[in-house]
Amino acid sequence: MKTEHNNEHYVLDMRNIGKEYYGTRVLKDINIQLKPGEIHAILGENGAGKSTLMNVLFGMSVIHSTGGFEGEVFIDGEKVNINSPVEAMEKGIGMVHQEFMLIPGYSITENIKLNRETTNPGLLSRVAGKKLEILDMKSMNMDARKSLDKVGVGIEEWVKVAGLPVSFMQFVEIARELDKENLKVLVFDEPTAVLTESDADRLLETMRKIASEGIAILFITHRLDEVQRVADRITVLRDGQHVITKDTKDSNVNEMANLMVGREIKMTGESRDNEGSKNVKMRIRDFYVDMPGETVKGINLDIYEGEILGIGGLAGQGKIGLANGIMGLYKSEGNVELDGKKISLNNPEKSLKQGLAFVSEDRRGVGLLLDSSIELNTVITSMQIQGTFLKRYGVFTQRDNKKIREHALKMIKDLDIRCTGPSQITRRLSGGNQQKVCIARALTLNPKVLFVSEPTRGIDVGAKKLVLDTLVQLNKEYGMTIIMTSSELAELRMISNRIAIINEGKLEGILPPDASDVDFGLMMAGEYHKQKGEGVRADG
């Protein structure tokens, strides 16, 4: 192998790929080479640049509408310009999507042959052109059958997709890509995320089989054991940078975890030692949340009074679901107690009334009334829940504009919200200032426990620090218990007392902020207990 690395033939060669969005660099000097029949895994945390890289490869419009990208892409040694997903398809690049691109009302055949239908000339097509040629269902069915057989699915090709089990849809997706005759590179985007273990095994098997036919596979995943099982080589991305590419056999799960997370932690200097208290403020038992894409499947967790608890984990594992479930925004089940009192679930009003407050991860969707003023945004929840900022006339009420204005001005000063005044509408604020308005709204409630989800998402570096400082300050000065959920491990480690890692809807473990990168990496990949468990047994 090693001898021929210089004159090797690459089916896909992406060279020095870089990308900036509005001045923020998200990709820098990424190199990926794929040999025919190779399975190449791409590893990285959320935000490491995996999806941007795929967007570049598929010529998605988000790339082109924001000024294109740097670097070059070669297919079979030939430089290509891919401007749309359709062009990518024509060039022989296919993708098995995480969210299925299937039409439920269509048969499997129709889905496999979508916009690539085989047609026969008919009566009208001779005058009105190719578009009016008649579909040749017979040959389409035969093609579909062939591809389905390739992935080893015995299901009838004329069955409708609606109602098929999830794993079948995945295989139909694969079959569709295989049906494309010139397929050279197939991208699998987190393909096993939705599958049961045995189905995932089958999928890996199928991947090997496809690769053995000479098709190169890009395998995007966070399941390190799967990588070890099927991938020939791995490439690790971190913060938009190419960390390393190496043969899988020269690496191991520990190393991969370390490479994925590894970065210098900028400790803020002040040691975030536990503030002493071990009083349980909130007790969470057997907690389930039905939040699409972020399902929580039974979490047990204690939150101590006056601490900042970080919640981390990869996207889609359920860390976001926890706070949303407790606040009653998604259907939940289980037992949550605050100061020993049970919290009524599935009722946002009661959650708020019992002294919880929430800064949502979806700032513009859930967090703000974008066309209303800063002052109204700040007080509205408190007005609704606690009846504050109102003048009362018997049963009638009116907003107390004077009080609202005073309070808003105080919040603007305290949180340093940059605006033209309290009556400015929030749509016109920058991301960081919008976030501060969300925090101001939560603080107006005087909560006993504050949930903050992804507080720094989509805001610039300077503002990030300000937001985090605000949280620390609230925690120190008012002793507020804060639960911060974030995809950025670095910021969790910066301000939390403890960090809970959620994996596959369950609590994987709790680590101190200064635990090693390997431990964090393994926990996030769900490998911690397997690895450590074996380690213990080996040692003992």
- Residues 79-108 interacting with another protein (rule: CB under 8 A): 84-86, 89, 101-107
Least distance from another protein to the Cβ atom of residue 294, Å: 12
Quick one: DSSP state of residue 222?
Answer: S
* Binding of residue 142 to another protein (CB under 8 A): no
CB of 142 or CB of 536, closer to another protein: 142
185 pairs with which residues across the strands? 93, 216
Residues of this chain, 259-278, that bind another protein according to CB under 8 A: none
What is the rounded CA–CA span in Å between residue 190 and residue 98? 6
- DSSP string for 327-348: TTSS-EEEEEEETTEEPPSS-H
Residues of this chain, 375-394, that bind another protein according to CB under 8 A: 376, 380-381, 383-385, 387, 390
CB of 83 or CB of 245, closer to another protein: 83
Task: Give the containing element (helix H, strand E) for 524.
Answer: helix 517-524
* Residues 6+ positions from 450 with CB-CB distance below 8 Å: 356, 357, 358, 359, 442, 443, 474, 480, 481, 482, 483
CB of 146 or CB of 350, closer to another protein: 350
Least distance from another protein to the Cβ atom of residue 373, Å: 12
Reduce the DSSP state of residue 30 to 3 states and report it: strand
The residue from 70, 76, 133, 504 that contacts another protein (CB under 8 A) is 133
What is the rounded CA–CA span in Å between residue 530 and residue 518? 13
What is the rounded CA–CA span in Å between residue 273 and residue 150? 57
The residue from 26, 80, 132, 409 that contacts another protein (CB under 8 A) is 132
Question: b/e per residue, 173-202, with b = 16+ CB within 10 A?
Answer: bbbbbbbbeebbbbbbbbbbbbbeeebbeb
Least distance from another protein to the Cβ atom of residue 238, Å: 29
What is the rounded CA–CA span in Å between residue 537 and residue 522? 18
CB of 114 or CB of 265, closer to another protein: 114
Quick one: DSSP state of residue 4?
Answer: G
Least distance from another protein to the Cβ atom of residue 380, Å: 6
Least distance from another protein to the Cβ atom of residue 140, Å: 9
* Binding of residue 156 to another protein (CB under 8 A): yes
Region near another protein per CB under 8 A, out of 126-134, 212-220, 487-495, 506-514: 126-134
Burial (CB count <10 Å: 0-12, 13-18, 19+), residue 145: middle
Least distance from another protein to the Cβ atom of residue 230, Å: 19
Burial (CB count <10 Å: 0-12, 13-18, 19+), residue 215: buried
* Binding of residue 398 to another protein (CB under 8 A): yes
CB of 292 or CB of 540, closer to another protein: 292
Region near another protein per CB under 8 A, out of 129-137, 183-191, 250-258, 489-497: 129-137
C-alpha dihedral, 487 to 456 to 355 to 394, nearest 10°: -140
What backbone phi and psi angles, to 5 degrees, belong to 32? -135, 125
Least distance from another protein to the Cβ atom of residue 352, Å: 5
Residues of this chain, 287-346, that bind another protein according to CB under 8 A: 290, 292, 327, 329, 331
CB of 48 or CB of 169, closer to another protein: 169
Burial (CB count <10 Å: 0-12, 13-18, 19+), residue 108: buried
The residue from 12, 32, 153, 218 that contacts another protein (CB under 8 A) is 153
CB of 397 or CB of 516, closer to another protein: 397
CB of 114 or CB of 536, closer to another protein: 114
- Bridge-based pairing of strands 12-21 and 70-75 is antiparallel
* Binding of residue 425 to another protein (CB under 8 A): no
Size of site (CB under 8 A) for another protein: 73
CB of 105 or CB of 535, closer to another protein: 105
The residue from 263, 297, 399, 529 that contacts another protein (CB under 8 A) is 399
- Bridge-based pairing of strands 280-289 and 332-338 is antiparallel
Least distance from another protein to the Cβ atom of residue 440, Å: 14
| Residue whose C-alpha is closest to residue 37's, from 228, 183, 154, 238 | 183
* Binding of residue 25 to another protein (CB under 8 A): no
The residue from 80, 159, 409, 425 that contacts another protein (CB under 8 A) is 159
What is the rounded CA–CA span in Å between residue 372 and residue 511? 41
Q: Is the CB of residue 217 less than 8 Å from the CB of residue 478?
A: no
CB of 314 or CB of 437, closer to another protein: 437
* Binding of residue 206 to another protein (CB under 8 A): no
Both tokens assigned to 76: 């079979």
Residues of this chain, 346-365, that bind another protein according to CB under 8 A: 348-353, 358, 360, 362, 365
CB of 33 or CB of 485, closer to another protein: 485
Least distance from another protein to the Cβ atom of residue 158, Å: 5
